[in-house]
């Protein structure tokens, strides 16, 4: 309905666009879910950050201790926030790129409610201590089965939509979405294979270092195919739309897509450097991680150069601000990652806050910022009215950006410091800092700084939620106007 | 191209790409099924090449006969360690670096993990590595430390876990774990499975006695006892083996 007032992304006449009844209801649902879970997940992040520097925040209750809330944070921000954001963007852009409604409304609804059910179950089981302990794959086996079922429902809907498309060519965003759908299914199923002991507990079929390798094959590619490829797909759709420019280079997108999906899978062992994992596997992981720099930067350049000739709009358009900063952080974290995969560098960085800094330059900088940009672009179009507070996005942008900088700079400093102090040995051949807790105490100022940065980021996200709430609850759009909605900010 | 047109069409047809991209469009990008198939192949190769060799003797992690499976009480303790998320602050992997060996002890050998399901190497050190913590402190130290870390480690930032002192373990539940672990590949015998309740009690009573000598009263079925059994076990097989080796004895 409202959607027909938005320009179709394909070279089609307005009349042809008008004849398709896109399902925007499901897009709205996913969007609101991402805003809600984003707030929850980041709030838990802030709580966890406080617990690290002030232990009484563990509250002395089993279900609120750090060891139980931290997995809640990672699951909430990755699968609830980032996941719902991906589905929002995919359901919106896919229908338009393929010029068809989704294959099945019923599957769309099952996907939506199934996914939210998984999130609620996660929010209940993790604080209860029901976990398999594998990072980003903590959920107990019955929930794992449910995830597989919901994912298959999504996949049928996804490929069904491709099958009934009215456009022959698959635009590059669709390739990235496809790699997301396929790879997450493979990773999830293989990594979750386990023997149940009870309804709530199971043990993996892999043991020891093999289990570790399978887990980090999964873990790194959760980063690669949950936090990277679908978001690159979103970048390929929403950045050109927001910039009103075609993508810089088609050739580059082909090369970097195939290189990225092929190389990513090999890099898992960079999480196990200096472990007793056989050397050949560690070396493979390191070499492929360094190679991954090239396709990653291919994607970044394609995104940034899409703005050529439109840089002046950055000053006024908050959506573009979010997206450009996101792509820049993507470039930064994919430069940092390959460096950290070099054995000698990893020897210093591993186990330290440096890794946490790296994680959040990708998570807050890339995933978070591109999500906010997309959401601010979508809300006026989906609900057919301007944002209640048109300056909100700009304020959110600055709050978020300063928050990220505080977060990652403090974590880099903390990580370098602890890394150096753990390893330094004096002339007598003894540890220069033999007392572990002394080093921990020196990190406190950095942790407080991170807490401030994280809180700013959270406040920005809450402001966005309130702005969207007021927009939706605000007066209905002027019935007379099928005109395109104004850009969100200024 | 005017902005307006560009907005309608953000497909990647830029000037520099004109005329490019004909064949792969026809062969590939117009065909959803084939594209999906090639993507699947592309993302499978790396995993297959890295994971399958782990199951060969030549390329996989080594195993050894000087490592023994966890006892039922240690299995219970390990489950508690997982439940409380201790691995999010504590790694279990001493790297082969001088400073790590000085701080924690012998670096970790591959075989020491052979019965670890799931693995608990950890990726973060908010607290010290625990791979060789077995035998480092008396049982009573752990008891007090878990009750209130600051009572034995002034200035610690570790959370207290007082509920472990109260809650009890359920032998039938642990038997189910041992059965599942055996099905997954850990070499427990039929007697091991049948003897789970006795084994729990025997090992637990040993810890209870040592705690009693330090003036602490508890029972063998408390969670804290299982956790202590697990912690005291960490890195012990490996250390004993390496000491024997260094002493020139048969490995
Ligand atoms: C308000 C913002 C946030 C704050 C304050 C925050 C805080 C934290 C803290 C304190 C940790 C634990 C660090 C440690 O163990 O030392 C953590 C871990 C993590 N966070 Fe966040 N976080 C935030 C947002 C996000 C977002 C938006 C994402 C992802 C999209 C994310 C992804 C992760 C991941 C993946 C980890 C685990 C890292 C690892 O295991 O190395 N966080 N976060
Ligand atoms: C070329 C790309 C990248 C490479 C080669 C890379 C490499 C690495 C390395 C070496 C580590 C440290 C492992 C350790 O010592 O424990 C790491 C951790 C991590 N990275 Fe990246 N990174 C890349 C991009 C990204 C991006 C874009 C994101 C986020 C969106 C990200 C998220 C993470 C997370 C969540 C972890 C922590 C995993 C854990 O320990 O739980 N990475 N990465």
| CATH code at position A83 | 1.20.210.10
* A285 C-alpha to ligand 2 centroid (Å): 12
pLDDT tens profile A291-324 = 999 999 999 999 999 988 888 899 999 999 999 9
In a domain, A446, yes or no: yes
Comparing B22 with A49, which gets the higher pLDDT?
A49
Residues 305-334 of A with CB under 8 A from B: none
* A180 C-alpha to ligand 2 centroid (Å): 18
CB atoms within 10 A of CB A20: 17
Task: Specify whether the CB–CB gap between A392 and A464 falls below 8 A.
Answer: yes
Band the pLDDT of B105: cuts 50, 70, 90: very high
pLDDT tens profile B178-194 = 999 999 999 999 999 99
- The count of structural domains within chain A is 1
Could you give the CA distance from residue A342 to residue A286 in angstroms, rounded to a whole number?
A: 6
ipTM surpassing 0.95: no
Check residue A476 and give its pLDDT.
72
Contacts of B123 in chain A (CB under 8 A): 135, 271, 350-351, 355
3-state secondary structure of A195: strand
Mutate to test the pocket of ligand 1, among A34, A40, A45, A371 (most ligand atoms within 8 A of CB): A45
In a domain, A308, yes or no: yes
In a domain, A252, yes or no: yes
Nearest CA to ligand 2 atom 37: A359
- Residue A93, exposed/middle/buried by CB under 10 A (0-12, 13-18, 19+)? buried
- Residue B206, exposed/middle/buried by CB under 10 A (0-12, 13-18, 19+)? middle
* A360 C-alpha to ligand 1 centroid (Å): 6
Whether residue B124 has its Cβ less than 6 Å from ligand 1: yes
Check residue B9 and give its pLDDT.
44
Check residue A484 and give its pLDDT.
47
Nearest CA to ligand 1 atom 39: A356
Could you give the CA distance from residue A310 to residue A313 in angstroms, rounded to a whole number?
A: 6
Which candidate, A367, A326, A382, places its Cα nearest to that of A86? A367
Task: Specify whether the CB–CB gap between A84 and A117 falls below 8 A.
Answer: no
Whether residue A232 has its Cβ less than 6 Å from ligand 1: no
pTM for this prediction: 0.94
**Whether B61 and A133 lie within 8 Å, measured CB to CB:** no
In a domain, A486, yes or no: no
Could you give the CA distance from residue A57 to residue A62 in angstroms, rounded to a whole number?
A: 12
Nearest CA to ligand 1 atom 40: B123
- Retrieve residue A267's tokens: 């890099």
| Minimum-distance CB partner of B42 among A201, A262, A347 | A262
Could you give the CA distance from residue A346 to residue A336 in angstroms, rounded to a whole number?
A: 11
- Retrieve residue A265's tokens: 């899978």
Q: Is B211 left (phi over 0), alpha (psi -120 to 50) or beta?
A: alpha
In a domain, A388, yes or no: yes
In the beta sheet, which residues pair with residue A351? B124
Could you give the CA distance from residue A406 to residue A298 in angstroms, rounded to a whole number?
A: 28
In a domain, A215, yes or no: yes
In a domain, A489, yes or no: no
Residues 267-286 of A with CB under 8 A from B: 268-269, 271-272, 274-278, 280-281, 284-285
| Minimum-distance CB partner of A67 among B44, B46, B86 | B86
In a domain, A146, yes or no: yes
Using the atom order of ligand 2, give the atom closest to the CA of residue A135: 41
Which candidate, A392, A376, A396, A399, places its Cα nearest to that of A488? A376
Whether residue A73 has its Cβ less than 6 Å from ligand 2: no
CB atoms within 10 A of CB B150: 14
pLDDT tens profile B224-248 = 999 999 999 999 999 999 999 888 7
The residue range of the domain holding A414 is 21-473
């Amino acid at each position: 309905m409202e959607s027909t007032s938005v320009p179709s992304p394909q070279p089609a006449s307005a009349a042809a666009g008008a004849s398709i009844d896109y399902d925007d209801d499901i897009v709205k649902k996913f969007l609101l879910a991402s805003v809600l879970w984003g707030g929850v997940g980041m709030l838990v992040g802030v709580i966890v950050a406080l617990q690290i520097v002030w232990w009484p925040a563990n509250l002395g209750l089993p279900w609120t201790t750090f060891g139980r809330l931290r997995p809640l944070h990672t699951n909430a921000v990755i699968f609830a926030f980032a996941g719902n954001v991906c589905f929002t963007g995919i359901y919106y852009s896919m229908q338009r790129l393929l010029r068809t409604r989704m294959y099945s409304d019923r599957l769309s609804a099952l996907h939506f409610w199934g996914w939210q059910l998984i999130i609620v179950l996660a929010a209940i089981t993790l604080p209860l201590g029901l976990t398999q302990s594998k990072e980003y794959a903590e959920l107990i086996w019955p929930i794992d089965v449910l995830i597989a079922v919901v994912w298959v429902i999504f996949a049928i809907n996804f490929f069904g939509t491709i099958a009934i498309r009215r456009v022959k060519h698959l635009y590059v965003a669709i390739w990235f979405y496809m790699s997301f759908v396929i790879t997450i299914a493979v990773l999830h199923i293989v990594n979750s294979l386990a023997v149940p002991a009870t309804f709530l507990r199971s043990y993996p079929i892999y043991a020891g270092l093999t289990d570790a390798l399978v887990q980090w094959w999964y873990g790194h590619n959760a980063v690669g195919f949950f936090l990277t490829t679908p978001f690159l797909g979103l970048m390929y759709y929403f950045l050109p739309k927001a910039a009103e420019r075609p993508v810089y280079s088609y050739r580059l997108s082909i090369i970097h897509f195939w290189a990225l999906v092929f190389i990513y899978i090999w890099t898992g062992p960079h999480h196990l450097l200096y472990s007793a994992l056989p050397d050949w596997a560690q070396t493979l992981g390191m070499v492929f991680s360094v190679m991954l720099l090239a396709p990653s930067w291919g994607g970044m350049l394609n995104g940034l150069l899409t703005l050529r000739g439109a840089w002046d709009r950055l000053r006024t358009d908050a959506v573009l601000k979010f997206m450009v900063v996101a792509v820049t952080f993507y470039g930064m974290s994919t430069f940092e990652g390959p460096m950290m995969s070099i054995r000698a560098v990893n020897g210093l960085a591993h186990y330290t806050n440096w890794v946490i800094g790296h994680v959040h330059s990708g998570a807050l900088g890339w995933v978070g910022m591109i999500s906010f940009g997309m959401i601010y672009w979508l809300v006026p179009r989906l609900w057919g009215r301007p944002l209640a507070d048109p300056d909100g996005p700009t304020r959110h942008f600055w709050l978020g950006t300063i928050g990220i900088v505080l977060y990652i700079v403090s974590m880099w400093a903390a990580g370098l410091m602890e890394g150096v102090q753990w390893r330094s040995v004096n002339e007598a051949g003894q540890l220069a800092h033999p007392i572990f807790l002394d080093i921990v105490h020196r990190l406190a100022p950095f942790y407080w700084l991170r807490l401030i940065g994280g809180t700013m980021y959270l406040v920005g996200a809450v402001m966005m939620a309130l702005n969207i709430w007021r927009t939706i609850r605000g007066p209905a759009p002027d019935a007379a106007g099928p005109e395109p909605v104004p850009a969100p900010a200024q | 191209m005017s902005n307006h047109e560009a907005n309608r069409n953000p497909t990647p047809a830029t000037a520099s790409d004109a005329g490019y991209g004909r064949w792969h469009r026809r062969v590939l990008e117009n065909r959803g099924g084939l594209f999906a198939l090639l993507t699947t192949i592309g993302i499978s190769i790396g995993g297959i090449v890295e994971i399958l060799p782990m199951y060969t003797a030549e390329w996989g992690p080594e195993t050894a006969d000087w490592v023994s499976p966890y006892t039922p009480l240690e299995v219970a303790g390990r489950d508690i360690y997982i439940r409380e998320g201790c691995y999010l602050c504590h790694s279990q992997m001493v790297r082969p670096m001088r400073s790590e060996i000085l701080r924690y002890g012998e670096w970790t050998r591959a075989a020491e993990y052979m019965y670890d399901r799931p693995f608990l190497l950890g990726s973060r050190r908010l607290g010290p590595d625990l791979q060789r913590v077995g035998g480092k402190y008396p049982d009573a130290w752990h008891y007090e430390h878990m009750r209130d870390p600051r009572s034995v480690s002034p200035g610690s930032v570790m959370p207290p876990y007082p509920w472990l002192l109260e809650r009890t373990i359920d032998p039938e539940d642990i038997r189910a774990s041992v059965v599942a672990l055996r099905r997954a590949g850990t070499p427990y015998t039929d007697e091991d499975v049948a003897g789970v309740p006795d084994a729990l009690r025997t090992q637990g009573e040993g810890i209870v006695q040592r705690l009693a000598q330090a003036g602490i009263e508890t029972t063998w079925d408390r969670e804290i006892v299982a956790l202590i059994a697990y912690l005291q076990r960490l890195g012990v097989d490996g250390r004993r083996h390496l000491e024997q080796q260094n002493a020139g004895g048969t490995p």
